[in-house]
Structure 1
Amino acid sequence: MKKSKSIAQYPYIVWSIIFIVVPLFLVLYFSLTNSNGDITLGNYKKLFDSNYMSVFLNSIKLASISTILCLILGYPVAYILSKVDQKYRTLFMLLLVIPMWMNFLLRTYAWMSIIGKNGIINSILKAIGLPTMNILYTDAAVILGMIYNFLPFMIIPIYTVLIKMDENVIKAAADLGANKSVIFRRIIFPLSIPGVMSGITMVFMPAVSTFVISKLLGGGQYMLIGNLIELQFTTVGDRYFGSAISILMMIIILISMAILSRYEDKEEKEGGGILW
């Protein structure tokens, strides 16, 4: 039995080596070399240039804003869905997931026709006699695109935790005289922290590394980490510096995941933070 299990693992191990380990090794190798094949840290020193640092900081800023807004919008939606009658939950979750079945690029293009100068929103504003808005090719457009594309990644993990919550705990708190506000602050939200942490991780990681949204909705005016990597590999042809940026981005994501994971573990050890 054990032998058959180990044999079944071989395809996965081979797949991981070919498509995960080898590419990571190549990226690391190129980041530490130059066009002559010499070992150098010059690619990493180049990262500290003020122009590149501004790109990194702007990427983290926009990703953080998008993550916070996704949490503000996503938590109430997840909470409402968790309270919906069981027979309707599947339908509502399907409506939430269906847009994700559409190609990511097409979803982003759709927003260009909605918020563009002659888009749907401005057409409606013109029809009712209100001034038009210039949203496209701004930070607001990039953030809007991130929220639209990544919001389900915030809602689903929070919803998953909320529906598994023991209703007896909430009923016991109500019997002891706790009102709805106290129950939410002291029980529901602390117990949902693992879902919140998962949602933050799942939104922040793609938001900080995206390049399609900033390229289309930002009009190429807003250079983010993802755009900088794409530029180095496809336009400039500097795969060495592009690899160094990729390693930096991976480090940022790993640090974010470590911080959030540590916070999540702390909450679980403290019993979800239910304090009276």
Structure 2
Amino acid sequence: MKKYLILLLVGIALHQHGNAQQAKPHHLFTAGVASGLMGGLFEGFYPVSKLLQHGNFGLGAPDKIDGELLVLNGVAYQTTSTGATRVLPGNHLVSFAMVHPFVTKRRLRAPAVISKSMFFTMLDTLMPQKNGLYAVHIKGRFKYLKTRAFPPVTSHPYPTLASMIPQQKFFEFENIEGELVGYRLPAYMDNTNISGYHFHFLSADKKHGGHIVDLTLSGVTIEIDQLESYTVELPDTEEFRHFDFHQNRAEDIKQVERGSKE
């Protein structure tokens, strides 16, 4: 009986250690490569159930670019180009995503009304290390929000994501409650990830979302987490093995982020 209890306790300890390794604090886990997504690697390869083992907070792209992906409180949400938002099942595959276990290191209230540019300027003062990795969670009321979602691709050869900009669908909201999930990543992570600011939205009623194009805040709480390391899980697919990564897609990433060629 004593031998059984020892083995049981060792098993529990190993299980807990395994979970800790999977969701390492202050560590950003990325499935896929951002420049590959920009170039047309839209096939999902990483299941949501496995992604959530690495973090409870993040964003990305669903299988075949069918809208936008957001992870909040350990739940994955998809906002499609119709505007509909739903919880993704564990077997859904993502083509690109970055997640981590969010730990609040700093919390504060934003001014009553602030524009997107003013907001980013303010965040820069709160995150002074230009080469640091930061996660940002915003919760509260937004005076104005403009989000977007891409339609799904249906057949090969897939286009580049930047060439699909004219097909994206926009959604506008006024005086809406909700949350922003986002990151500010340094320039050296461009092409593997997406440098600069990147935010996705989820409304309080979980019915609306999308990639943030523009916003005006109106009374929100800001939570910041600073990360210390990151890893990238590569797709084990035929398309990835033959993809040409020589092309610099930094400008494509910028256009897709702002939702415009200009």
| Same fold by TM-score greater than 0.5 | no
The normalised TM-score by structure 1 is 0.22
Higher normalized strand content (fraction of residues): 2
The normalised TM-score by structure 2 is 0.23
For the pair shown, the structure with the greater C-alpha radius of gyration is 1
